[in-house]
């Protein structure tokens, strides 16, 4: 593409480009003066396979207004609009951005859907980036209520000791040590006669590890342990903004895994909402406990599809790294549809197996199940197998996400991120269409 453009360029332009050393590498920028006209701006796309390779353009280009005059033929303008907006994101709660992003002019019809999706992604990123001092359990509930108010959804919460009265014992056990009360937050939206979609997100606003305390280097990023809830909220935002004809039920177990004399302990036996007794091995595996009660609640409405997002295991990062989210399902049709949706939305996910051979690793001699495996291997799989016990026969998608960008790449600045919601939304759009 670049070579073809150079062949057709004026000789003076060719000389300037060659003298500059510009090679159209990804993110490379060259401004060519044109007298009184605005400069000709070259933005390198490298070996771009899709529009997201240009996602750093908003911050690579000098401030100003730009119009796209030439791009690789396979670049989708709507995708480019989303990539541009994703790359323009900055977390501004505590300090203003150092510069404004470059503005790209794209036709309104191509930009409208991108703006809506970007708002959902920004919501997830802002929540994950906010430290627990300013996003405690009360704060995350408030964020859900704000989201519900935007779209006319009904939001409710079960808080503190009421969790025991209403049979969410594992949510209570994990969160009871904190001065910020644990809670189960629910959002209902849509026509009750429409197909039911269950959505669950792990909302651990900070994870010390509990009595099995984390080492300092592993605790440093634990403000992001509510990334599952943030991603679930991003997906809910997309669904409601699009007006998909579904009945959405979002369930978020929201806790602070803190340390005190009232903290739950290794060797405790916890009862779950489903009636399964759970032996506690390590208090730093708290996410699957709160998810179990939340998943049980979500299945009680008999959804057509149940989806959960959780920053659940380090094993998932070892397997796939930080850029790709592993997912689990026993439903081949859902897996096939999700693969297509992920490719179409440029939201990479990868299926891992619910391998029955590892299920026995969760056996307990004194309870129905142990919440961690007796082997350190296959940790993401065994965590998913634990959760499967609380889902039953409901079609289910489980995402073990990182929700964080450790090194900037196009459209993904360092910090909190959404992994999987765009792929799932694309799947839901294909299945249920517009209202």
**pLDDT digits 0-9 by tens, 43-92:** 887 776 778 888 999 999 999 998 877 655 667 889 999 999 999 999 99
User: Distance between alpha carbon 384 and the CA centroid of its chain, in Å?
Assistant: 17
Q: Note whether 292 and 394 are same-domain residues.
A: yes
Q: How far apart are CA 308 and CA 43, in angstroms?
A: 38
> Which residue range(s) make up the domain with 65?
2-88
Summarised one tens digit per residue, pLDDT across range 276-285 is 999 999 999 9
pTM over 0.85: yes
What whole-number percentage of the chain has pLDDT above 70? 98
Determine contact, residues 303/196, Cβ cutoff 8 Å: yes
Residue 58 lies in a domain: yes
Give me the pLDDT at residue 1, please. Answer: 66
**62 and 154 share one domain:** no
**pLDDT tier, 434 (very low <50, low <70, confident <90, very high otherwise):** low
CB atoms within 10 A of CB 331: 14
Residue of 90, 116, 124, 53 whose CA lies nearest to 401: 124
Looking at residue 435, its pLDDT comes to: 45
CA distances from 83 to 203, 212, 297, 342, 422 (A): 27, 40, 36, 15, 12
Q: Is the pLDDT of residue 117 over 50?
A: yes
Between 27 and 119, name the one with better pLDDT: 119
| pLDDT reading at 170 higher than 80 | yes
Q: Is residue 233 domain-resident?
A: yes
For the annotated catalytic residues, the residue numbers are 214, 288
- Is 341 contained in some domain? yes
Tell me: do 231 and 347 sit in the same domain: yes
Residue 226 DSSP label: G
| Rounded to 5°, angle at Cα 383 from 215 and 132 | 45
73 and 129 fall within a common domain:
no
Residue 56 within any structural domain of the chain: yes
* Per-residue pLDDT tens digits for 12-54: 888 888 889 898 888 889 998 888 888 888 888 777 677 888 8
In a domain, 110, yes or no: no
| pLDDT for the residue 38 | 84
Grade residue 396 by pLDDT with cuts at 50, 70 and 90: very high
Q: What is the pLDDT of residues 177-216, one digit of tens each?
A: 999 999 999 999 999 999 999 999 999 999 999 999 999 9
Domain boundary among 88, 108, 125: 88
Same structural domain, 17 and 140: no
**Whole-number average pLDDT of the chain:** 95
pLDDT at 16: 87
CATH at residue 270 = 3.40.630.10
Helices (H), 72-136: 77-88, 108-129
């Amino acid at each position: 593409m670049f070579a073809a453009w150079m062949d057709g360029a004026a000789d003076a332009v060719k000389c300037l480009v060659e003298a500059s050393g510009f090679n159209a590498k990804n993110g490379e920028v060259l401004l060519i003066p044109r007298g009184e006209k605005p400069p000709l701006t070259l933005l390198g796309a490298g070996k771009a396979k899709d529009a997201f390779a240009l996602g750093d353009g908003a911050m690579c280009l000098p401030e100003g207004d730009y119009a796209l005059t030439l791009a690789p033929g396979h670049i989708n303008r709507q995708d480019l609009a989303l990539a541009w907006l994703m790359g323009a994101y900055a977390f501004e709660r505590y300090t203003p951005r150092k510069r404004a992003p470059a503005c790209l002019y794209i036709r309104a019809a191509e930009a409208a859907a991108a703006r809506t999706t970007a708002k959902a992604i920004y919501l997830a990123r802002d929540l994950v980036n906010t430290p627990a001092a300013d996003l405690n359990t009360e704060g995350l509930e408030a964020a859900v209520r704000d989201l519900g108010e935007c779209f006319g959804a009904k939001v409710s919460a079960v808080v503190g000791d009421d969790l025991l009265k209403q049979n969410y014992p594992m949510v209570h056990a994990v969160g009871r040590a904190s001065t910020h009360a644990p809670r189960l937050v629910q959002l209902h939206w849509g026509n009750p006669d429409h197909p039911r979609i269950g959505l669950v997100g792990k909302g651990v606003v900070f994870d010390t590890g509990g009595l099995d305390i984390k080492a300092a280097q592993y605790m440093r990023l634990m403000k992001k342990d509510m990334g599952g809830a943030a991603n679930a909220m991003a997906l809910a935002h997309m669904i409601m903004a699009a007006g998909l004809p579904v009945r959405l039920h979002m369930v978020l177990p929201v806790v602070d895994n803190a340390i005190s004399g009232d903290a739950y302990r290794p060797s405790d036996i916890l009862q779950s909402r489903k009636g399964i007794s759970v032996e506690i091995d390590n208090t730093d595996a708290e996410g699957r406990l709160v998810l179990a009660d939340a998943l049980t609640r979500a299945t009680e409405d008999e959804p057509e599809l149940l989806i959960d997002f959780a920053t659940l295991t380090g094993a998932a990062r070892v397997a796939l790294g930080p850029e790709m989210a592993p997912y689990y399902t026993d439903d081949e049709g859902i897996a096939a549809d999700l693969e297509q949706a992920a490719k179409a939305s440029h939201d990479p996910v990868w299926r891992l197996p619910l391998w029955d051979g590892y299920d026995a690793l969760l056996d307990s001699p004194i309870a129905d199940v142990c919440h961690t495996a007796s082997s350190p291997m296959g940790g993401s799989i065994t965590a998913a197998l634990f959760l499967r016990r609380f889902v039953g026969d409901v079609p289910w998608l489980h995402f073990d996400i990182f929700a964080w960008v450790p090194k900037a790449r196009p459209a993904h600045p360092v910090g909190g991120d959404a992994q999987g919601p765009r792929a799932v939304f694309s799947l839901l759009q294909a299945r249920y269409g517009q209202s």
